[in-house]
Amino acid sequence: MLKLTPEEAAFCEEVRAFCAQTLTPSITARVRAGMRPTPADWLYWQAALHAKGWGAPTWPREAGGTGWSHRQIYLFDREVAACDGPPQFHQGLELIGPIIYAFGSEALKSRLLPRILSGEDWWCQGYSEPGAGSDLASLRTRAERVGDHYVVNGQKLWTSYAQHASMMFCLVRTESGGSKQSGISLLLVDMKTPGIRVQPIRTLDEQHHVNEVFLDDVHVPVENLVGEEGKGWSYGKVLLDRERAITISYGPRLLRQLAYVREAAAQVATPTGPLLDEPVFQARIAQLEIEILTLEAMGLRTLEEIQEGLDSGPRGSMMKIRWSELLQTMTELWVEALGSDAERFARPGQGPGEDDTFETAGPMLAYLHGRVTTIYGGSNEIQRNIIGRRALGL
Ligand SMILES: Cc1cc2nc3c(=O)[nH]c(=O)nc-3n(C[C@H](O)[C@H](O)[C@H](O)COP(=O)(O)OP(=O)(O)OC[C@H]3O[C@@H](n4cnc5c(N)ncnc54)[C@H](O)[C@@H]3O)c2cc1C
């Protein structure tokens, strides 16, 4: 348990008051049903946080962020989760924003960072390709410099929300030869540029989150190169340390989600009373809660280490693995609790039907979409390799 200072307690109170004023019933209903916000809701939430000065909780002040400590970020995330608020959309805020303010030109910083903060730009991540996922350095999308432009040709795969994005940060090969990692550059691409074609992929949950993105002679101005040509691979390293800040907040959100499962189970009648009171179900919930509390303890330990300036080793990888596994176990339990009601989520090629409430449609969508958590952000096998290298010296 964290012991809060009076200032911290007041801060938590301020976050709760802000959430109470700002979160709409449509946002909280989706979060409580295990679903992600709609793009419109996400933009609304980002704009509201920005207006309050909280647009980028993890960014330093000089980049337009809050400058909060890891502890404040954790408290903020914990309170937002407790109020059934969503996490912020992370591709602009957590993936490309920090690279732009660390390595981008002054022109890129002043042009693009404010638009990430306000939510005016929606960013997608163009890294993965056919044959280049875990082994990302094998990517083959090429960019050739012609005058004051790069001409880009290739294909990106699994590009989340490319259909909504106004900008894509894209790893491209500008040089061949040498090591696979050298000769890769990071380009910022306006999604309206001629030559970009976005083709939807429907995932297991029958939703359209991800896409193939084809790039045919796409002209990208040279000033949209981040940092130096050929050095794009190394810029991703700045994100590694930031991962700790993100994984620390997994515990509180999982605990809140477990409360939703409990609420659902309390409404399910069995011959002997509500499902929630059934001993085997209770034992499963209790086991899950213990494991989530263990993850939470690991997050708090990481917080202490950060405050003391200690290296947490591969704890970010360990927490990513445990979070993804626990999320999958929890959504499975949630679906089991709802029984056949949970099946009513699907209509071919559509989202939840009009006669379905979020309460019944959401958990199945969350369960199916939750499969991705062990794949993206570095698959769990890759995370285990990192742990093997960093903790065991393998
Ligand atoms: C829903 C979804 C959204 C995504 N969003 C984006 C996005 O917005 N932008 C983007 O760029 N990418 C995105 N991705 C891609 C994601 O990052 C990759 O799927 C992931 O990196 C795995 O790559 P892959 O699919 O090519 O699988 P592969 O790398 O081919 O891996 C296949 C299997 O082999 C295992 N494996 C591979 N290499 C090793 C190894 N060295 N040791 C042990 N096991 C190994 C993997 O763990 C996996 O189980 C998304 C993926 C999904 C499913």
Q: Are residues 243 and 385 in the same domain?
A: yes
The pLDDT score that the predictor gives to residue 354 is: 42
AA identity, residue 105: S
The pLDDT score that the predictor gives to residue 344 is: 66
52 within domain boundaries: yes
Domain extent at residue 17: 6-88
51 within domain boundaries: yes
Q: d(Cα 86, Cα 42) in Å, to the nearest integer?
A: 8
Which among 204, 230, 256 is the end of a domain?
A: 230
The pLDDT score that the predictor gives to residue 359 is: 59
Counting from 1 in the atom list of ligand 1, the atom nearest the Cα of 378 is: 21
Query: Considering the entire predicted model, what is its pTM?
Result: 0.93
* CA of 31 relative to ligand 1 center, distance in Å: 26
Q: Are residues 274 and 201 in the same domain?
A: no
DSSP of 199-263, one letter per residue?
A: EEE--TTS---EEEEEEEEEEEEGGGB-SSTTBHHHHTTHHHHHHHHHHTTHHHHHHHHHHHHHH
Q: Are residues 64 and 205 in the same domain?
A: no
* CA of 156 relative to ligand 1 center, distance in Å: 13
* CA of 178 relative to ligand 1 center, distance in Å: 24
Which among 186, 214, 230 is the end of a domain?
A: 230
Q: Are residues 271 and 354 in the same domain?
A: yes
Q: d(Cα 364, Cα 367) in Å, to the nearest integer?
A: 5
CATH number for 307 = 1.20.140.10
Q: Whose CA is nearest to atom 4 of ligand 1?
A: 158
325 within domain boundaries: yes
87, 78 Cβ separation under 8 angstroms: no
The pLDDT score that the predictor gives to residue 345 is: 58
CATH number for 217 = 2.40.110.10
40, 119 Cβ separation under 8 angstroms: no
31 within domain boundaries: yes
Q: Are residues 190 and 297 in the same domain?
A: no
Q: Are residues 251 and 388 in the same domain?
A: yes
AA identity, residue 269: A
330, 367 Cβ separation under 8 angstroms: no
96 within domain boundaries: no
* CA of 392 relative to ligand 1 center, distance in Å: 24
Q: Are residues 217 and 255 in the same domain?
A: no
Residues designated catalytic = 243
Q: Are residues 297 and 334 in the same domain?
A: yes
Q: Are residues 349 and 222 in the same domain?
A: no
Q: Are residues 168 and 270 in the same domain?
A: no
Which among 180, 197, 230 is the end of a domain?
A: 230
The CB density around residue 270, as the number of other CB atoms within 10 Å, is 13
| Residues in contact with ligand 1 (CB, 6 Å cut-off) | 124-125, 127-128, 133-134, 158-160, 203, 209-210, 372, 375-376, 379, 381-382, 385
223 within domain boundaries: yes
Q: Are residues 281 and 351 in the same domain?
A: yes
Q: Are residues 22 and 161 in the same domain?
A: no
Best residue for ligand 1 mutational test, from 90, 124, 125, 128 (most atoms within 8 Å of Cβ): 128
Q: What is the pLDDT along the chain (394 residues), one digit of tens a residue?
A: 789 999 999 999 999 999 999 999 989 998 998 988 888 999 999 999 999 999 999 999 999 999 999 999 999 999 999 999 999 999 999 999 999 999 999 999 999 999 999 999 999 999 999 999 999 999 999 999 999 999 999 999 999 999 999 999 999 999 988 899 999 999 999 999 999 999 999 988 878 889 999 999 999 999 999 999 999 999 987 776 677 677 888 999 999 999 999 999 999 999 999 999 999 999 999 999 999 999 999 999 988 888 888 888 888 899 999 999 999 999 999 999 988 878 765 543 444 444 445 556 788 889 999 999 999 988 999 999 999 998 888 7
The pLDDT score that the predictor gives to residue 361 is: 75
Q: What is the domain count for the chain? A: 3
The pLDDT score that the predictor gives to residue 349 is: 44
188 within domain boundaries: yes
Instruction: Tell me the Ramachandran region of residue 64: left when phi exceeds 0, alpha when psi lies from -120 to 50, beta otherwise.
Output: left
Best residue for ligand 1 mutational test, from 375, 386, 387 (most atoms within 8 Å of Cβ): 375
10 within domain boundaries: yes
